[in-house]
Amino acid sequence: MALALAQEMAKKVPGLAVATLVILLLLFVILTTVNNMSPVFSGLFTLTFMVFLIILIMSLRSKEHPGEIEEASILNELTTSGRFNDDEARGRGLQVFSFASSMSATEDFSVENKLGQGGLGKLPEGKEIAVKRLLRSSGQGLQKFKNELVLIAGLQHMNLVRLLGCCVKGDEKMLVYEFMPNKSLDFYIFFIAGRERSPLLVGMLVFIYLGLLSICCLILIRKKRLQEDREKEPTLDELMISDRKKGYHDLKLFSFASIMAATDDFSIQNKLGQGGFGPVYKGKLPDGKEMAVKRLLRSSGQGLQEFKNELVLIAKVQHLNLIRLLGYCVNGDEKMLVYEYMPNKSLDFHLFDPTRRKLLDWKMRSKIIKGIAQGLLYLHKYSRVRIIHRDLKPGNILLDDEMNPKISDFGMARVFGQNEAQATTVRVVGTYGYMAPEYIMKGNFSEKSDVYSFGVLLLEIVSGHKIIHSFCSEECPMSLSDRAWDLWKEGRSTELIDPALADHCTRPEIARCIHVCLLCLQENTVDRPTMSEVVPMISNENLLPLPDPKMPAFSLCRHKLKEANSSPRKRECYSLNEASISDMEPR
């Protein structure tokens, strides 16, 4: 208690402590010359002198290390908070390791486990970790510790090291990372023979470039948000949250009562739409933040599986062009997913309405196309788990207040291993017109299945027509992809462009997009490009000539011509009905 009082006085009145100490010293010299000074008085005087001496020392120490006491208290709070949480990660917290577990994992920081300025360890469940231990004498290290804790917690990318947690106990401060068995880049640069080094260097430089590019994008996005409202800039204290009940991947568990209050008891006025999963409602939290609540139909057996699937998958991904899952609610038979609210609804709401479509100029459509491509590329290549969406369509592309696209509805998505190229299912789910031929016919799906769906989406955005739209011709009825194919062969692909796009200066760019969409719609998967190839094609990063596409899959004219010799039929024009399918058996 005396020490705490001294510490507080040292911060507030260091000058007074010095002055008092000098006066006491002079009094002590004078009084020691008096022979009849009592022992009690002498003892009290000595005690007072020592207290002010401690105050002076602590005052000088706080001046030498400004903010050290404050920093220490902030970091000590971390040991009792249970979790560290970045505000932008929405509950994806870091584990706080005990000092005892860190000691045990690294065998008391043995020399054998030293990787460099850090240490190797193994958790009780066998998972290997890398422990970076802060030097006690390093003032700069303390600041780096805080910076690393705040920044890395908000980043998720295949080419960025993953921060698993931290440990704070007294002067001991440690960061716990995933273990990298192949060491660091300098090991290979300086120790591997020159001939073997070249291909490694090329690959490493590519990964470094992609990692740095991702970091720059994240920093620019965060900087833009903070500049809009500097007063809302999060502090380290705000990023520390207390213990609370955790659920799937640390997503927030909303109470049923809070959901009912936010949606006005699921009022009709707040209903945004209806899907195979169930109805979607708009809600508002007490702090004014808006959200979208997807409510599972109690009678939907398929919806229950989609609920679990979406809950697990979306919690693992984090990207500007993917919808953000804020949390969930489970209360008996009631199951709900809570998302960030998208004020501009879905892409089909604007694209297929004659009036609203006119507001979508090419600049806006181009931004939407590129955003969808970036989100899909992240799922296929850069997410920590490779994900095949399997239900990409305009209704599942949501638009925020700045018309930035966000891929949503991961109920049908599937996780792929890093070396897995294709999977097969007997339960085909999706929407007619957007599903790839190999998926419908054989139940095979892969990254190329999503590429096919992206091609359909691209064609719809450029033309303003649904894929099921049919055109009349003298030979046979034509689908939208047939029409695009015929016009491209004749060098007239720009005739497919939506009349609402009146800017003639963009026609070469739009014509290139039509070419790319035809490459995506090819029947054989090997002929289709990957999203890694599609992104530079539509971003004007690669202006090299594009390869010639082959006839699109599901061509109405192709099947019509095959039947012409056996049973001549009267030409007729018809439309296909759009239908969503939840379960079908592949042939």
Catalytic residue numbers read 391
Element (H, E) at 368: helix 362-377
Phi, psi angle pair for 119, to nearest 5°: -170, 155
Q: What angle do CA 114, 117, 120 make, to 5 degrees?
A: 35
Coil, strand, or helix at residue 177?
Answer: strand
Residues 121/128, Cβ–Cβ less than 8 Å: yes
How many Cα atoms sit within 13 Å of 393 on the Cβ side? 21
Residues 580/468, Cβ–Cβ less than 8 Å: no
Coil, strand, or helix at residue 101?
Answer: helix
Q: Give just the sign of the alpha carbon dihedral 491, 454, 159, 151.
A: positive
Residues 116/180, Cβ–Cβ less than 8 Å: no
Distance between CA atoms of residues 115 and 469, nearest Å: 62
Phi, psi angle pair for 64, to nearest 5°: -70, -35
Burial of 117: CB neighbours in 10 Å, binned 0-12, 13-18, 19+: exposed
**Helical residues (DSSP H) of 383-497, grouped into ranges:** 437-442, 447-463, 480-489
Closest CA to 517 of 435, 442, 450, 454: 454
Beta strands 119-122; 94-96: pairing state: unpaired
